[in-house]
Structure 1
């Protein structure tokens, strides 16, 4: 039977591929009146957020040297994760990610499996770039190719996973090819950045046959709970173990941790719960703590459950805070790996 040999969790924030002095582009937007920000489980405006966190003296961490040090440490952590991926030399990879209307738009599945022989990625068009929020286009090089690129998928494993999830009472959407949902003016989109970031920063030149497994984190009408995501991860590990193959499998996930407001206390509780296999803590995270970008931690919950089921131990490779305002807006970056002892 197949064996899970490696797990990787990696942040994928645009800030990682934005020069330190350009963080101020997004910072100016964060400070605008009327933009809601989630912190401590509730939504607030920037003025309230900044007043609430004034005692933390986050302004002391906004200098360019501190920003650059956080970037340097983050890229060193990604180098370590890439080295672990190369050393594990998996035959096939499962990526647990999420879509943000990049490939799904008219429909939003709670769980989806892309069971395709090929997975294409492509850069944005000029028209698509014109509709991006300020400060996002300059980070595209961190997750999109310069020209259309086709990566190997693994249809057989994808179909096996979908069947296994169905037997485990999960209603899963099967995509027999990469979804080609079109945006305005019939412009096709590449893969979601949750996947593209791993292609470029963890797999690099070692993209193996893989299966994208999508968890709807962002769209709350049908986003699965933390407990449901945990059960999904357990079912994922069981499906791999039941696959009649001698393949060595790596499971990668990306996103999170807290953003668009950094909350180090929450981040460390979350990282420690995964490391310590604290199932109750992970399953019990309420929806109001998994909002905005922090919702991507649902993919981490699923991956952590799969690793626990498979018997792999987690190591926290690094954790960095990428603050861009005095109110603590920005992104926190977690880098972890799961390996056999």
Structure 2
């Protein structure tokens, strides 16, 4: 029987790999009233958001020293997660992530497993960079390789997880025998989604071990699973890994979130506290209106927390940082956590 020995949760915002002075590129975009911003279950215009939050005096947290200190502490936390990963030395990794039209385009599966011996990653083309929102290209070095790179997958475990999910747990998953990608026009070829690439670069530090990408559709709400379904999916993934007939040691990693594109510290601490306390009911009851925009990536954390609850590993928060870029509190919140016995 395989053993799950480690879990890691790590934020993956582009702000982490953007110089503090360049956060204002995105801040200027945030302030445009044509862009909807989700806060406490409401979709707001920027002026409404800033008015709602004026008592918090968030403008006092926008100085360069504050920004740079948040980045410094975030990178120290990621250094610690890297050390923990190296110390655990797992044989195989399962990454629970999400895609944002990076590899799935004409089809959007609710849940997918990539069972391939190799996982290709590659930088964006100049044509792709031209289509990006302002400021995003600056952070590509944080999740994309400088050149075409091939990482080791684990087809045996991928096939086993997919089969077990369908036959034993009642989840109809999409099974990918290779990394999905848009074929034909080279300008449309994409590397792995940033949810995975960030872990390659910042936790495994380009020494990528055999792994299985498991995708949860967080972003496309028409068929995005509920928080409750994500939790149940995590339980099923844990049981599948445990049923793998091998003595391999497995780590389960996730990334994304927490609240963004509007930071909500109160919500984040509720979420972290629920995971620390193994509070499945709180996690399962989070409504969709609170899991919108970038905060939707917390669905991957819910699934990963369920894995850890199932195998009895406890969560430790290494650090939590708020990367504010406007007076309205837009930006990203960053959590850095791990689960071990």
Task: Give TM class, smaller chain.
Answer: over 0.9
Contact 2:128-2:187 within 8 A present in 1 as well:
no
1:80 maps to what in 2? 80
Contact 2:15-2:332 within 8 A present in 1 as well:
yes
Q: Distance in 1 between matches of 2:2 and 2:182?
A: 33
2:299 maps to what in 1? 298
Structure 1 residues 183 and 79: CA distance shift in structure 2, 3 A:
farther
Between 205-214 and 68-77, the greater mean CA deviation after superposition = 205-214
1:127 maps to what in 2? 127
**1:85-104 map, 5 Å:** 85-104=85-104
**1:189-200 map, 5 Å:** 189-200=190-201
What secondary structure does 1:326 align onto? Answer: coil
1:259 maps to what in 2? 260
Q: Distance in 2 between matches of 1:199 and 1:99?
A: 15
1:331 maps to what in 2? 332
Contact 1:166-1:172 within 8 A present in 2 as well:
yes
Q: What is the TM-score of this pair, normalised by structure 1?
A: 0.99
Q: 1:270-313: CA deviations, max 9, x gaps?
A: 00000000111000000000000000000000000000101111
Contact 1:90-1:250 within 8 A present in 2 as well:
yes
Q: Distance in 2 between matches of 1:182 and 1:46?
A: 39
Q: Distance in 1 between matches of 2:206 and 2:198?
A: 13
Q: Distance in 1 between matches of 2:174 and 2:300?
A: 17
**1:109-124 map, 5 Å:** 109-124=109-124
1:277 maps to what in 2? 278
Report deviation, 1:206.
2.6
Q: Distance in 1 between matches of 2:237 and 2:46?
A: 39
2:26 maps to what in 1? 26
Q: Distance in 2 between matches of 1:26 and 1:183?
A: 32
Q: 1:129-154: CA deviations, max 9, x gaps?
A: 00000000000000000000000000
**1:286-325 map, 5 Å:** 286-325=287-326
Q: Distance in 2 between matches of 1:129 and 1:182?
A: 18
Q: Distance in 2 between matches of 1:112 and 1:186?
A: 25
Contact 1:183-1:189 within 8 A present in 2 as well:
no
Query: Structure 1: which 5+ runs fail to align?
Result: none
Report deviation, 1:205.
3.7
1:224 maps to what in 2? 225
Contact 1:115-1:153 within 8 A present in 2 as well:
yes
Task: Report whether the alignment pairs 1:179 with 2:180.
Answer: yes
**1:238-253 map, 5 Å:** 238-253=239-254
What secondary structure does 2:203 align onto? Answer: helix
Q: Distance in 2 between matches of 1:49 and 1:90?
A: 44
Contact 1:86-1:206 within 8 A present in 2 as well:
no
1:143 maps to what in 2? 143
Q: Distance in 2 between matches of 1:257 and 1:76?
A: 18
Q: Distance in 2 between matches of 1:240 and 1:132?
A: 37
2:3 maps to what in 1? 3
Q: 1:222-276: CA deviations, max 9, x gaps?
A: 0000000000000011011100000000000000000000000000000000000
Report deviation, 1:92.
0.2
Report deviation, 1:33.
1.8
Q: 1:186-214: CA deviations, max 9, x gaps?
A: 52000000000000000014310000000
Contact 1:180-1:189 within 8 A present in 2 as well:
yes
What secondary structure does 2:90 align onto? Answer: coil
Q: How many residues align?
A: 340
Q: What is the TM-score of this pair, normalised by structure 2?
A: 0.99
